[in-house]
Structures are given as structure tokens and as C-alpha cells.
Structure 1
Amino acid sequence: MNATTGNEAHDNTENVDWAALAPEGGERIPELLEQVATSDSALSDLHDIIHFPAPGHRAAPRAVDRLVDIATDEATQPADRWRPLSLLLELVSAHAEDRFPQHRDLDQWRDEVAWAISNDAEKVRAQYRTWMEEAPDEQHHHRMRNRLAVMEADDGAELLRAELETYEAVLARVPDLVTLLHGGANRGGLDRAGEWVSYLLGFLPGDAERISAEITGASQVLLAKDLRPAPKAPTSMREVMTQGLDSGEPLPAELFALGLVADPSDVDTTVGLVHQMAGGNLYNSFAASVALVLIHGENTPREGLRRIGRGGGTSMGYEGLFNESWPHCGNRSPQVLGFLALGRAGDRARRLRLDILPGLIKGEEESRALVTGAGLEIVLGPRSRGYTVEEHAQADYDEETLKVLWAIAELPASAWQDEEFTATLSAWALPDNAEEFCALVGVEPETETGEETEAAAPQRQQPQQQAPTGLLGRLFGGGR
């Protein structure tokens, strides 16, 4: 690790006017950078000042090199490297929901920021509103909505430029960051640097070839177990504390990153992931299966989809397995990000995503509107198509559509107080209150008590005993 040279080359924090870049707390940034590796409170405070789109985010590009230097410095304890890495991850994964299922085109991003900087702010806002309304899918809708929200600030265009510059600053340090994939000290224990840097690298497809090569070289992912050399026994206590911690197995987070950066034409990586998929380690099998879906999209081998579904049926469930291999970015859980990312396989992953969706709609309050919109898009098409109340009243929806609508209808009354959630329903011209929505799909509104919830379930399960109305009735021959 070439840490000393890197620090000398990049540590220019003393020459930065932090207070000018971050009026709210910027003067504290140098001190917080010195403490960030060992202090949770310093990490939290620094994040609050420079995260996107906080007003102080204009300081973020200037902090990147120092954060990378701290993470890669040999003087930084391996158990402390996760802190600067976690902050870097938050800086490059802001609004992670608009990064999936498809990567953001870096050249197009640069052109967009240049356009936003060079034009009148109100003109830019108006264009973002149009793009948001006409977006071809939910990913682009959320991206445009998030951009519009940033542009509402007086210095919105500068914040958009700082976000891009931050990404490019981290991208430039990939050669240093990949060194943290190597060595037992980085690959073993809790909060291991190899895991956190893998999460970070997955969001940097701009250097995909290098990242993919480094991940496959850091572990034995390209070799089946029966072809791997026997591990060497440690000969000293130092080796016990370093190499002895590294089993040679790829980390689940490395498989996450490979899914986002590996080339579909790289046959060796695909074969290596297949070995992991069938290797008996539940976590790596699941992570490798998801990675195959992300790499090959609509050409995904059916086996990969089947194994993801099988993992969802284990005691760990989708939530536990995604938690093991995918990062938690901002207020988006690993399972939500994984659900969105599986959309890369298009209709190939349709049934799988519809299997995951009901649990997310019911359990992910922070992302309920987001996953509801994604689910409605799967079964009804994009919101920009234009829907009418009459269209729903006359529709004869299939079982998959009703599965999504039932999951929404079974939400507790408190869910309907979420304005973003009800606005999402309105985008498809669906009722935005529980009573009307449940009447449309032919189920009783859910209540807040578990006993009443269980009592209501059979009313949907037994349409022949209670003549249903609405969509459910039309599907099963009830009244219209």
C-alpha cells in the first residue's frame, strides 16, 4: 500500500476555505477529518455537513482525497477504515434509488450538469418538471424528481456540480481504493475494510474493468473449491492476525460489486459466479445469483433466478440475504435496492420481483412509495402513459396485478397518511384513500390490530362465500 506517497500528494486540506464552501459548520471540517477514523461522532458530524444535497456538499469534492488517504494509510487501524469508507459510500450513492436498475451514463451526467450550470435556474426547473412527467420509467422519474428538488435551492446548480465532482474525485482514486481488497486484516473480522470498499466500488462503474480485475484477483472467486490450493498454515503470530483471517472466499460484498461492474462477455467471471452459486454457502450463493442477474440482464440463466427465489424461502428470507451482501445507503435498505436492481432482467425477473414486493410494501415505510411505484409499473406500465379512473373501473386485471393491488389494500390506516404514497397511487389514477381503494379491489380495509387483520384475510380468500366487488369480483366471477 503506497499510503505515505498518497498522503503527501493529496493532503491539501489546509489550503481550502472550508467555511466558504460549507457555511454551516465548514470551519470544523479539518478537525473532523483528523478524527473521522476513530470517532463515530466525528463521522456523523462530518456527514451532516457535507452529504448531498446539504448546503455544505460543495465542500465534499475537496474532502474526498483526505478521506481516501485516511482509509488507505497503513497507520490507520484496519478496524477503523470502515468509517471514512462509509462516508465515501454515502457521498457517491446519494439518491441510490435512481441508480438502479440501469447505471447512470457518466458522459450524459456531465453534459446535464454543464447544461444546468449554464442556463437560467427557472428554465432548468421547468425542464426537469417536463422530464419528470414524461419519464419512460420509474428510475428516470425519480432521477428527474430528485434533480428538481435540488434545483429548488438557490445554489442548486452548484450542488449538482459538486455531486458530479465528488463522484469523479472518488473515481480517480480507484487505484488506491482497490488495495483494500487485499490482505487478511482487510478481509476478516467485523466492519472489514474489504467489505466497505466493495460497496463503494460497486457504485463506480466508470472504472469497471480495473475494479472487476482487482476483485477477482483478491479472492479465489474464479476457482472452484476443488481446484484451489490448500491454505498455508501461519508461521507467526503476525500471520495469524493477518493472512490467517482470510479464508480466500470472496466476500458477499465483492459479489455485489461484481454484479455492477463485470462485463457480460467475461466468461471466467460468469463461471466463477456459477461455482459460487452452487457452492453451498447460502450467503455467497444468493449474492452470486443476484450478481449473475445484474450482469446478464434479460439473458440471465434461469438457474440464477431460481436460486434467488429459493433463498427468499429460507429462514433468512430476502431481507436477511440482501442485508448480508448489499449496502444500506441513506434511507434505502439493501432489500429495496436489490429489488430495484433486479429490474435489469426485465420480464425474466418479473415473477421474482412480484414475490419480493408485498413484503416491501408492508414493511418498508421509508421506501413504501418508491416500491409501490415500481410494483405498479411492473403490472400496469409506466405512470407517464396516462391513466383514468374509468379505465380502472372497466379493467379486468390478471392475478399478478391483483397481487400488487391486494398488498396495497392490506396496508394499515396509518400508511394512507403518507402523502408521497398516496400521490404515487394518484399517478396511476388509483384511489388515494383506503376506503375507495379497498372497494375497488374488493377487500375490507385493514385495521391496526393483528386480530382484526387475521379476521379480514379470509374475506379475500373465499370469494364464493362473500360476493366480492370491484377488480376481485370481475376476476373470480362476482358482481360488477
Structure 2
Amino acid sequence: MNATTENDPHGGAENVDWAALAPEGGARIPELLGRLAGSDGALSDLHDIIHFPAPGHLAAPRAVDFLVDIACAESTPVTDRWRPLSLLLELVAGHAEDRFPEPLSLDQWRDEVVWATSNDAEKVREQYRSWAEEAPDEQHHRRMRNRLAVMEQPGGAELLRAELDTYEAVCARVPDLVALLRGGANRGGMDRAGEWVSYLLGFLTSDAERIAAEITGASQLLLAKDLRPAPQTPTNLRDMMNGMDTGEPLPAELFALGLLATPADIDTSVGLTHQMAGGNLYNSFAASVAMVLIHGENTPREALRRIGRGGGTSMGYEGLFNESWPHCGGRSPQVLGFLALGRAGDRARRLRLDMLPGLIKGEDESRALVTGAGLEMVLGPRSRGYTTEEHVNADYDEETLKVLWAIAELPAPAWEDEEFTRTLGAWALPDDAQEFCDLVGVEPEPEPQEAADPRPQAPAAPQPGGLLGRLFGGGR
């Protein structure tokens, strides 16, 4: 334990001047920490105060030790450990889309924060604008645009500093966090701590070698199945729900290994290969995606085949990514997976084109992001510079038409999204639905006609907002 004691894992929180760090709601932080483990409401409220890039994020680095201690305390019920872990995940990966397909360099991040905090704010903003316009690919464009949005807030440079400080504060607690990978109670049941901590650890790439070793040890991934100890057998439904370890790696652990392991780690690649062929659909899919993240353009063809085969099952890409990838930063697991598969370059091109139409049509919040990635895949980077005449005279190939037709078939409300239409404009494509459809030779999607119902309608149930809405209302 670090900032607190075992019997009182949030003890000492009242000694921090939270109101100075987070003027809007900071005074509530000690009380929210005290209720966090057992309260969805406290989790949502605390997230709204300190998430990045809210003004109260300046309090996040100080909150990290309390959150880790609550998650790790023996006094915290195993079924409640997911709450502090899920908040830590949001603090570390609030812009998870920035991390894919290529990992970020911690040294470069540190240098960037030093530069941003030591220069005139307007100069920094202008530089971010320039970097966004000249970005060589969509990942760099997204990251520069996100940094610019932070710098346009009051105290933006301090928020960028707090984001880095929060990440490093979580990295400092890796020795405590990895303990949650072990034990039947942490590895079994619903909302298991081992799953949530794996999602979190996967993003801590600066300590990749140590974390990967802890995951392979806890999951027995490096042991052939016939050499592993016999798994515990649940004796009743309660045991099944509350803490029996199946003896198999968790899909979330395979996600984390994809981000942490290197091509030189042959043992892990062999272990993942056994998981690919092991008969467990979820682990086979997660291990195949992990192989893409580790080996990139050298990914074995078998891994790509198994990903495509999984997408064709009744679970589909959405269900399989939901089982093994986190829902964080407002992005669904499938969107993050779609971006991540770009690490394999042209080898994963067909897989991504297979996923793309469903994502463009079904992921309203990420439509602009996915559209940009799709257009980059078939037309090249936005920074190349495009003209309307190019499109009018173009003879598009089948892959390009697949992307353009998926866009053309969007319903009318999608064209009211300014971020989406700006994305089309970056490639000099029409931002009007009819003009776009005329360009690519597709009839506009008709608006659905709803039959009038004379009966009075009950009001729709409110949907959960904030952190809980993202965790449980849209993908997990």
C-alpha cells in the first residue's frame, strides 16, 4: 500500500487540497473516494471531475495512489475492484484512439510536454495546428488535433502536464497492480479484477517487459495445456459467478500482451499460437489480434485468417472485440481494434475493409474517425492535398468504391455531423449527401418512414451518461 492504510484505503484523502486542484467539485473527492468501491454513482461523479481533459484533471495525479490502494485493498470486495480500475483506465487511456496503430514513445511525450509548458500558449497552439495539417497519417493527425483542443482550454499546458504525471503515477504502482492478476477471486466471475487490470496494464508500455512477464506467469500462457495444473472446478452457480479460475488466460491478458510483447519474445509468440488453435473462440480471436500487434507487417498469415474467420461467426467482430478489448475514452472495442489492425499495413487491408462499412454505419460517435482511417487506406493521407477534379475524373478501384459506397449509404442524419463532413472535405469530397451520391454513382439512402401509432407512447428510459454510459451503455 502507498498513500493509505490497509484498513482505510482512502485514508489521508482529506489532507489534500482538492478544491485548489479541481475548483468545480474537488471538495467532494474525499467523500467520493470513500464510497467509490461500492457505488456506481460515486464512480461516475469522480470521473466527471477528474477525467482528461476536464479542468479538474489537475487533481488526477494525486488521486492515483488512492485509486490503486482501493483496488488492491483486502477490505475491498473482489466484485468491487473493477470500479477504481475502470477509472484508472479512463485516466490513462482517455484518448485511446491516439495509441493505435503505432505505440507512443514516452520519451517523445515527455519532451513534448516540456516544450508545451515552457513556450507561449499561442505559439504552441499554432504549432499543433501546423502539425495536424501536415500529419503524415491519420493517427498523427488525431493526436495533434486532440492536443490542440486541450491547448485551446484555459491552462491547457498544465492539463497536458497532468496527463503525463497521471500516467507516470500509475506506472509507479505497477508492483501493486500486477498482484491483481493472480488468484481465483481476481480471475473468475463477472467484472473480474484480473480483466480490468489487464486492460490498464496493457497501456503502460513504458514498463512493458516487466508487465508482460507478470501476465505470462499469472496466465500460464507459456505452459502447454497438458502441463498446467488442473483448474478449480466450481461446485455451484455462486462459485461460477464469483471467483473460479478456469486455468485459461483471460482474453484481456492477450490484449495486453499484444501491446506489451515484442517480436523477439519467441516464447510469447508460441504461447499465442497455441491459443489461436486452442478451440476457445474468444481466446483464439484475441491471440490472433495480439499477434498482429506484436508482429505488424510480419504477422503470420494464419493469424489474419483466424481474425477474418472470427468476424464471420455469429459473434462477429463486434462481439469478439467486446470480449477482449476495453471500452475506454468513448471508443468502442471494435473501433480501437479496427485502428490497431492497421499495424499490419497492407496485410490486414482486406480485414479492415471488411469491418469498415459496419463501423461507418453503426458507430455514430466514431464515424468521422473511422471514415478518415478508411479514406486514408484507399486514397492516401489527407495531407497530400486533393481537388474535386481528381474525384470527378477518377476511375476508382473496387476497394475505394467499397469505402465510398459505405459513406454514400449513410442516412440523412449522419450528414449533419460537422466532424464527419469536415473529414470528407479533407479529401475534397462533397459534404452534401446528394452531391456525394452523384459523384460515386449511388442512390441516396431513403429516410425510414415510421407508421403513425395513435396509442400514447411511454417516455423512453434515460440512458446512463458519463463513464458508466460508456462502460455499459455502448459496447461492454
TM-score (norm 1): 0.90
* Structure 2 partner of 1:171: 171
* Structure 2 partner of 1:458: none
1:297 and 1:54 mapped to 2: Cα distance?
A: 35
* Structure 2 partner of 1:55: 55
User: Partner letter of residue 349 of structure 2?
Assistant: R
Give the CA deviation at 1:242. Answer: 11
Give the CA deviation at 1:447. Answer: 1.5
Give the CA deviation at 1:3. Answer: 11
* Structure 2 partner of 1:115: 115
1:22 and 1:78 mapped to 2: Cα distance?
A: 30
CA gap 1:35/1:302 in 2 versus in 1, 3 angstroms:
same
Quick check: 1:185–1:241 contact (8 Å CA) kept in 2?
A: no
1:68 and 1:257 mapped to 2: Cα distance?
A: 19
- 1:94-173 alignment, distance < 5 Å: 94-173=94-173
1:450-477 Cα deviation digits (max 9, x unpaired): 89xxxxxxxxxxxxxxxxxxxxxxxxxx
Provide the aligned C-alpha RMSD in A: 2.2
* Structure 1 partner of 2:20: 20
Give the aligned length: 449
CA gap 1:28/1:8 in 2 versus in 1, 3 angstroms:
closer
* Structure 1 partner of 2:424: 425
User: Partner letter of residue 199 of structure 1?
Assistant: Y
Q: Which has the higher contact order (CA 8 A, sep 6+)?
A: 2
CA gap 1:387/1:50 in 2 versus in 1, 3 angstroms:
same
Give the CA deviation at 1:220. Answer: 2.1
Sequence identity percentage: 83
* Structure 2 partner of 1:381: 380
Indicate the structure (1 or 2) with the bigger Cα radius of gyration.
1
User: Partner letter of residue 104 of structure 1?
Assistant: L
* Structure 1 partner of 2:455: none
CA gap 1:169/1:384 in 2 versus in 1, 3 angstroms:
same
1:142 and 1:393 mapped to 2: Cα distance?
A: 28
1:199 pairs with 2:199: yes
| Stretches of structure 1 lacking an aligned partner (at least 5 in a row) | 452-480
CA gap 1:387/1:35 in 2 versus in 1, 3 angstroms:
same
Give the CA deviation at 1:224. Answer: 2.8
1:33 pairs with 2:28: no
2:346 and 2:10 mapped to 1: Cα distance?
A: 47
- 1:57-72 alignment, distance < 5 Å: 57-72=57-72
Q: Secondary structure at the match of 2:443?
A: coil
Q: Secondary structure at the match of 1:37?
A: helix
1:13-44 Cα deviation digits (max 9, x unpaired): 33321001000010000111111001111111
Q: Which runs of 4+ in 1 moved over 4 A?
A: 1-12, 240-244
- 1:13-412 alignment, distance < 5 Å: 13-231=13-231, 245-412=244-411
Q: Which deviates the most, 329-338 or 10-19?
A: 10-19
| Stretches of structure 2 lacking an aligned partner (at least 5 in a row) | 451-476
Quick check: 1:13–1:30 contact (8 Å CA) kept in 2?
A: yes
Quick check: 2:359–2:367 contact (8 Å CA) kept in 1?
A: yes
Give the CA deviation at 1:241. Answer: 8.7
2:369 and 2:243 mapped to 1: Cα distance?
A: 43
* Structure 2 partner of 1:435: 434
Q: Secondary structure at the match of 2:38?
A: coil
Quick check: 1:178–1:211 contact (8 Å CA) kept in 2?
A: yes
* Structure 2 partner of 1:476: none
Q: Secondary structure at the match of 2:287?
A: helix
1:157 and 1:121 mapped to 2: Cα distance?
A: 7
1:344-374 Cα deviation digits (max 9, x unpaired): 1111111111111010001000100000000
Quick check: 2:232–2:246 contact (8 Å CA) kept in 1?
A: no
Q: Secondary structure at the match of 2:194?
A: helix
User: Partner letter of residue 256 of structure 1?
Assistant: F
* Structure 1 partner of 2:459: none
User: Partner letter of residue 314 of structure 1?
Assistant: T
User: Partner letter of residue 304 of structure 1?
Assistant: A
Quick check: 1:292–1:300 contact (8 Å CA) kept in 2?
A: yes
1:64-107 Cα deviation digits (max 9, x unpaired): 00000000011110000000000000000011111111111101
Give the CA deviation at 1:219. Answer: 1.5
1:295 and 1:45 mapped to 2: Cα distance?
A: 37
Q: Secondary structure at the match of 2:220?
A: coil
